[in-house]
Amino acid sequence: MIDLNDPVIRGYLIRLVGEEGLAMIEKMPEGEVTDEQIAQATGILLNIVRRTLFILNENKLAVCRRERDASSGWLTYLWTLDMSDIEKQLLKEKKKLIKNLKVRKEFEENNVFYVCPEGCTRMDFKQAADCVFMCPECGEDMIYQDNSSFIHLMKARIKELENR
């Protein structure tokens, strides 16, 4: 059983299915249940329950089994939470985050930036030159931005994530 109070797991699930989805997970009945049973037991709207279940299923955190009623031919979908893969999903997210941070760090290292002193915009050298170093929103002169502290923070974050 996973600890839904763990801030990392909680944050991941909130990002994945939102606050209502997390509330559904917390209140979901044990065993195989239909989406209607989940909605009734949790008090969450059926469309939100279905959306949450499909997202969880796509991320291998819920299992769905179809059952056909012999007399009517109707399909019934039975759902079970299976959070055993959550560590694997978190690891995949961490790798994606590290990759994105490295791409962004490289972009920051290979470009020179200019910002509007009023905080309207931030541009690389080419964009700023195209605007004659004037803010396209307020007309102020753009000023050079030293992004070395930002690059340093990204390097530290990447190192921290890689060492976890």
30-43: per-residue pLDDT in tens?
999 999 999 999 99
Q: Is the pLDDT of residue 1 over 70?
A: no
Residue 4 pLDDT: 84
The mean per-residue pLDDT over the stretch 138-150 comes to 96
Task: Report the distance separating Cα 42 and Cα 131, nearest Å.
Answer: 55
Average pLDDT over residues 45-72: 93
Task: Report d(CA 138, CA 116) in Å as an integer.
Answer: 9
Mean pLDDT of 148-159: 96
Q: How would residue 140 be classed by pLDDT, with cut points 50, 70 and 90?
A: very high
* C-alpha of 42 from chain center: 24
CB-hemisphere CA count at 13 Å for 54?
Answer: 6
Distances (CA, A) of 60 to 53, 80, 83, 98: 10, 11, 8, 22
Average pLDDT, the chain: 94
Cα within 13 Å of Cα(121), Cβ side: 16
Judged by DSSP in three states, 119 sits in coil
Average pLDDT score over residue span 112-119: 96
Q: Where are the domains of the chain?
A: 7-81, 88-163
* For residue 5, pLDDT beyond 90: no
What pLDDT digit, counting tens, does each position of 89-109 carry? Answer: 999 999 999 999 999 999 999
What fold is seen in the domain 7-81? Arc Repressor Mutant, subunit A (1.10.10)
